[in-house]
Each structure stands twice: as C-alpha cells, then as structure tokens.
A and B are shown apart, each in its own frame.
Chain A
Amino acid sequence: MPSADKREYPDELLTRYLLGAAKASESEQLDELSIVDNELAWRLDALEQDLVDAFVRNELFGETLERFEKHYLSSPARREKVEIARTLLKCNEKRVSEKRVAGGKRVEAVASAKQLTAARFDWLRSGLAGAAIALCALAAYLFVENNRLRKLRTDAQIQQAILDQRVRQLEKQLTERGSTNNKTTEQTDRESGLGERPLKTIAVLLLPATRGLGQVANVVIPVGTERVTLRMQLESDDFPVYGASLKDPASGTTVWSDANLKAKSEGQKRVAAASVPTSVLKQQNYSLELSGIPVQGAPETVSSYAFKVVLR
C-alpha cells in the first residue's frame, strides 16, 4: 500500500482514529501508516499526547470526551499514559510554583534592595540635611564671632586711643611741670637780682619728695653759674639747725654736705637753703638728704629732695 497523501489526514481524522471513531477503511490505512510513515507516526504520537493532556486538563467536551472515556481509557497502557500526563502536569505546576516562589523571593530581594537603597538615600538625605544644618550653625557662629571680634577690635582701638590720649596728657603734664619749675627758678633769679647779669648763683625751690611720684624736678644751670642755692621747703620746722647731704643716687656717694643750715620763712612756708658750688655738680640725678639736728641728740632725717641737673 503506497503511503497516502498527508493532506488527506487532517488532525481531526487522526483524532477520530485515536478515539476509535474512524471508518474501517480509514483505520486500516492509518494502521499501516502509523508503522511505515515516520512523519505520520510522530504526528499521531503528538496528537495523542495533546489529547491526553486535554483530558487531564478537563478541556475535552461532548462526544470527544465520551469517546475518550469509553474507548481510549479502556486500555491499561493508555490509562498509564493518562497517569503519566497527569503526573507530568503536576510536576510542571510544581516547578512553575517553585519558580514563582523563587521569583517572589527575587522580587522581595529587589524590594529589600530598594528599601535598603531608599534607606541609604534617606540616610544620605539626613546626612546632607544634617550637614546643611551644621553649615548654617557654623555660618551663624562665624557671623557672631566675626561681629564679636570686630567689636573687640573696635574696643581695643578705643582703648588704644584712650591710652594714647592719656599718654599725651601725661607728657603734656610733664612738660608743663618742667616749664613751671624753670619759670619758678627764673622768677627766683629775677627776685634775687641775678637775672639781668650773668648768673653766678641760681636758686631752686625743691619740694619734699612724694611717695609714688617719680617726677624729678629739672635744675637748669646756665654756663658761668658758680653756685646753686637749693631751697628746701620744710613740711615742719622742728629743728634749730639742719644738715644737708647731696648724694649720687646711683652710687650712694655724698658729693657735698652742709651741717649748719637754718630755716627761714618764705611767705607762709619754712625753707632751708643750701648753696652748692656747681663744680661738684654733673648733669645727672641727685638726692638731697635733709636732716634735723636737735640741740641735743643725734641728727634725724627729715626729708629728701630729688632733682636732675641739666647743664646749659
């Protein structure tokens, strides 16, 4: 029997053949072809498998289902095929389910990763926000500190200005005091009649040294002056005779002394005057020590007078 044209054997006919519903002539032809024709043999196999799968999936209806149950399932070998198909379906569903679970886990993992990423971004955002706040705080601190330093600088400048002013005032006071001393000397000289000729003797009023006041009177000695009268103002006149010692304060050496000085009145003040030759004087500081010599007993230090010799 020649191999029949395959177009004459549609799937519907082959299905009927498998279900035992084909005509006798058709069945005989297909019996032969199912053995001798490779392609038809495999087509029958595939159709049979689809038919069994459809039954397992409850996709068969009507006459097809009826024929399947009545004819196909009558064979133990075919029932075995149905059981294998059912098991294969179950196996496939199990694998799909496992894949879904694995997919779900992957989704969860992705979600978790997203959450982690989101958390990281949150942390980053928090960090950036914190950094921004810190920067703002730092800027505010710097602004305040800058103002504070500016104020301090201004205050310092004010203080400096005050100090400078104070220094200038003190310098002015010193100058004025020195000028006053010189005027006093000149006035004394004029009163003594020495001012109009070359002075051979000059007189200077010395005030008792005051504690804490380091101001030293200048005694200006013009050239040609032979003697300098140092008039020492007394705080009290308690002694009949006074002694005076002129000392170099640097060495403590007494460069001149007089132990027979008597106090006399100049206005309301009592003054003891000592006439010192200019030959013993140098341009330097001196200390004039005044001692009270009582009638009886040892001399007593009464006062000390400091001055600076300025030679001209």
Chain B
Amino acid sequence: MAELRRDWTLSPEAFGRLLRWLDEGDDSRGERYLEVRRRLRLYFDRKNCLSPDDLADETLNRVARKLDEKGSITGVSALHYCYIVAKFVFLENLRNFKTERIGTTEDVREDPARVMPVSVNVGSDEGREKMFACLEKCLTELPGEDRELLLEYYRGEGRQKIEGRSKLAVRFGLSKNALTIRVARIRNRLEGCVRSCCGEE
C-alpha cells in the first residue's frame, strides 16, 4: 500500500467521491456507505476492538484518501478493498494495544473480556427506561409495514414463533431467508436509531 499524506483531511469532494465509488455505478443516496460502515464496525467489534466505530471511520477515511490521491482503485471490488484496509487497521490497532500492554503475553482474542473494559451504563434502571422510551420513539419512526413486520417477527416463543415466521413470510411474499434478511435490516436500522437516541440525551 503506497504511502499517504499525513496532513490529509476528508473534504466534501473526497467524501462524495467515496460515496460514488462505493455505489459502483448506482445511486444509493449514501445507503451503501452506511451499510459498509456498519459492517466494518461489526467486524471490529467481533474482533473485540475497543472502539469499533472509530476504527470503521478510520478504515473509510483511508479508502477515501486513497481515492482522492490516486483518483481510482481498480482490480478489486469496493467491498473487498474495504475489507483489506480494515484488516490492516485492525492489525495496527492490535499492535498498538499490545505495545500499550507491555508484558502481557495473552492473546486478546482468547480472553477479550480481560482486556476490554465493560460499560454497564445501559444496565441501570434509568438507562433501561431511557432506552425503552427511545425504542418506542424509534418504532413509531419506522414505516408502518416495517414496524408490523418487525414486531410480528419477534412475537411468540419456540414452535409458535417458528410457525408465526413461516406465516409472516407467506403473508409478505418472501422466502424464509429473505424475510430474515429484511427483518435484520429493519432491526439494524432500529438499533441505530435507539443508539443515536440514547446518545443524544
């Protein structure tokens, strides 16, 4: 990977170029960027990184910088290139973490709970009440059909839930897999809304 300028900052033009590049010819109005960022954040989170959001942003910044300086990225898909950059970011982060923890020989992946501080803010009654209010608010902001689909999807337990989901798939004209994916997207959107709502206050 070529050396990049250290004084580079993300300009609106560079960000627009990044969006267009991620869309790969489509116009997702930023949806593709958000989805890629979400996947990167999950990637870093599953690697038990302390700041998955920051690392996801760092990854995308590096991609945008590459695009800004080189003009284009060829020979690889946008998603695959993002993964390659993310892998480097993770390794850099892991190296820095190990440097900070001199003398530690344990693999953080073997016992991440020992190296990651655990925040329990949302576990308090106040936090739960706030989250409940945010969830109610975010549910009302969902399109009616998405809200109905989400609530129906998680209704019931055990066999009742499985049968309910089969009926729901038939009702919405979706395969079981497509239904799962659609609900997952809605839930991701809802979780993002709740996270944002709880962080605002």
Interface range on chain A (Cβ under 8 Å from partner): 35 or more
Q: In the complex, are the beta carbons of A83 and B181 less than 8 A apart?
A: no
Interface 0/1 of B129-145, CB less than 8 Å to A? 00110011001000000
Answer yes or no: A42 CB below 8 A from chain B CBs: yes
A31 CB-CB contact with B under 8 Å: yes
B112 at the interface (CB under 8 A from A): yes
Interface residue A20 (Cβ < 8 Å from any Cβ of B):
yes
Known: A42-B185, A74-B113. A96 touches B43 (CB 8 A): no
Q: Decide if B135 touches A91 in the complex (CB within 8 Å).
A: yes
B109 interface hit (Cβ, 8 Å): yes
A151 on the B face (CB < 8 A): no
* Complex contacts, B184 vs chain A, CB 8 Å: 42, 45-46, 49
Q: How far is the CA of A32 from the CA of B82 in the complex (A)?
A: 10
B77 part of interface (Cβ distance < 8 Å): yes
Chain A residue nearest to B195 in the complex (CB): A80
A-B contact count (CB 8 A): 116
A90-B132 contact, Cβ under 8 Å, with A18-B46, A32-B83, A45-B188: yes
Within 8 A of B (CB), among A65-119: 70-71, 73-81, 83-84, 86-92, 95-96
* Given contact pairs A1-B80, A36-B80, A79-B123, a sample of 6 additional A-B residue pairs in the complex whose CB atoms are under 8 Å apart: A39-B177, A73-B118, A74-B113, A78-B45, A87-B135, A91-B132
Which residues does A use to contact B, with CB under 8 Å? Answer: 1, 17-18, 20, 31-32, 34-36, 39, 41-46, 49, 53, 57, 59, 70-71, 73-81, 83-84, 86-92, 95-96
Interfacial residues, chain B to chain A (CB-CB below 8 A): 36, 39-43, 45-48, 52, 77, 79-80, 82-83, 86-87, 109, 112-113, 116, 118-120, 122-123, 127-128, 131-132, 135-136, 139, 151, 154-155, 157, 177, 180-181, 183-185, 187-188, 190-191, 194-195
